[in-house]
Amino acid sequence: MKLIFAIVNSDDAAAVTQSLSKEGFSSTRMATTGGFLKMGNTTILVGVDEEKVQQVIDIIKEESQSRKVVIPTSTDIRFGGSMGAIPTQVTVGGATIFVVDVDRFEHV
Ligand code: 2BA
């Protein structure tokens, strides 16, 4: 068995979990926060047999959009910059996916 962690935009999370559910996959949504942007995102956990991993990844990819986010980047006066902020564009997602082995699964 494998455990899939998929970090997705919170706006896509409902569509991802609904599509997973329609195809018979159980999932759990967790509210998480990106370490870089410090913005909310959603981490979806899916436990599946190894042969179903690609199907789950395909569903997640299908429902996860990439987005451009503009963030202020502060300049540092010590390195020749002036005080203030330069807007910088960052592309976030579609989804960041990890697949890990599960040693044991109990559903009691
Ligand atoms: P954040 O950490 O908030 O990162 C949001 C986006 O900022 C990233 O999009 C990437 O485009 C950019 N970014 C992140 N770290 C950067 C850095 N050190 N320098 C420049 N740009 C940087 P994604 O790569 O699509 O990641 C979306 C979210 O997925 C991340 O939110 C984080 O929550 C998670 N994530 C991505 N890679 C990860 C990893 N290796 N381990 C754990 N979580 C990860």
Gap from CA of 11 to ligand 1 centroid (Å) = 17
- Residue 59's Cβ-side half-sphere holds a number of Cα atoms within 13 Å equal to 23
What is the pLDDT, as a whole number, of residue 77?
Answer: 59
What is the pLDDT, as a whole number, of residue 5?
Answer: 98
Pocket test for ligand 1, best of 37, 67, 89 (most atoms within 8 A of CB): 37
Closest Cα to atom 41 of ligand 1: 96
Tokens of 88: 């910088």
Tens digits of residue pLDDT in 12-28:
999 999 999 999 999 99
Number of residues in the chain: 108
Pocket of ligand 1 (CB under 6 A): 7, 34-37, 39, 41, 90-93, 96
CA pair distance 57, 54, nearest whole angstrom: 5
CA pair distance 30, 10, nearest whole angstrom: 10
What pTM does this model have? Answer: 0.91
Is the separation of the CB atoms in 43 and 32 below 8 Å? yes
